[in-house]
């Protein structure tokens, strides 16, 4: 399934899509596969598979802790592709969340080829703007991959128009300025940013950074096409006493958030 189909399916059901993130390789490669599959079974519509990287500029301390553990355990880009392949086999779209340096080092064309071969749906590139590189978008287009770029409350209307024109699949709107991590309240700027973004594109707009409970998911689902949760899932894994308990914990959270995006 592509991300477009997943968002269309959610829209047909009168709700926002639920997007869930976990880094590949935490608590292990097989452990991350088990956790992501459990999230899908519990109601996550689109999966973000994080590619562990040593300088995660946008990631807060929760994700950094898990990513650091994955890197120390030797998780490689090949492992990430293996996770994508396992997740895609469930039928849910799997997009990779990666900083640009690892993709550039692997080779944009080679990564697009190998990700497509693994059944991946696309890539979210949080630190890459569409006008900063002339290799990634052509490589992704050649293999039918989504290119998901970020817009933020600080983005001008001109930057939003340029960014959304380069997006495929959906647009990722950051609800607050800063790094990822659960927050008590949804940023006030989120709804305004979604409105400005929708004025520039017909693509679905998903809001991320800070979602941790059903109430927040319901609030964002009231004005956005997708609700993204990341740190809250990772925290469940970090605080679990063992891998099995971690899988159960992320499934429980996925069920709560899935209920949230379905509230009327």
Catalytic center residues: 48, 59
Q: d(Cα 39, Cα 248) in Å, to the nearest integer?
A: 9
Task: Find out whether 147 and 134 touch, Cβ atoms under 8 Å.
Answer: no
Q: d(Cα 50, Cα 25) in Å, to the nearest integer?
A: 9
The residues pairing with 48 across neighbouring beta strands, listed in sequence order, are 21, 95
Q: What radius of gyration, in Å, describes the C-alpha atoms of the chain? A: 17
SS3 category, 6: helix
Q: What is the DSSP string of 25-52?
A: TSS-HHHHHHHHHHHHHTT--EEEEE--
Task: Find out whether 130 and 149 touch, Cβ atoms under 8 Å.
Answer: yes
Task: Find out whether 174 and 153 touch, Cβ atoms under 8 Å.
Answer: yes
Q: State the DSSP H helix or E strand holding residue 102, giving kind and residue range, or none if neither.
A: helix 100-106
Beta strands in 113-220 (DSSP E): 122-124, 146-148, 150-151, 171-174, 205-208
């Amino acid at each position: 399934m592509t991300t477009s189909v997943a968002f269309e399916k959610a829209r047909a059901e009168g709700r926002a899509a639920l997007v869930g993130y976990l880094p590949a390789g935490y608590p292990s490669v097989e452990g991350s596969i088990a956790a992501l599959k459990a999230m899908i079974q519990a109601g996550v519509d689109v999966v973000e598979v994080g590619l562990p990287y040593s300088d995660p500029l946008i990631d807060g301390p929760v994700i950094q802790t898990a990513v650091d553990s994955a890197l120390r355990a030797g998780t490689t880009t090949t492992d990430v592709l293996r996770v994508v392949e396992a997740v895609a086999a469930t039928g849910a779209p799997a997009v990779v969340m990666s900083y640009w340096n690892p993709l550039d080092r692997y080779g944009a064309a080679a990564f697009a080829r190998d990700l497509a071969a693994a059944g991946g749906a696309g890539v979210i590139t949080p630190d890459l703007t569409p006008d900063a590189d002339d290799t990634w978008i052509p490589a992704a287009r050649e293999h039918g991959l989504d290119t998901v770029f970020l817009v933020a409350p600080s983005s001008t209307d001109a930057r939003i128009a340029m960014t959304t024109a380069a997006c495929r699949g959906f647009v990722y709107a950051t609800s607050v300025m800063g790094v990822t991590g659960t927050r008590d309240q949804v940023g006030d700027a989120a709804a305004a940013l979604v409105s400005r973004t929708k004025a520039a594109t017909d693509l679905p707009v998903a809001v991320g950074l800070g979602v941790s409970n059903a109430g927040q998911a319901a609030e964002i689902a009231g004005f956005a096409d997708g609700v993204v949760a990341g740190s809250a899932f990772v925290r469940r894994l970090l605080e679990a006493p063992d891998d099995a308990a971690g899988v159960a914990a992320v499934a429980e959270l996925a069920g709560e958030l899935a209920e949230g995006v379905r509230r009327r």
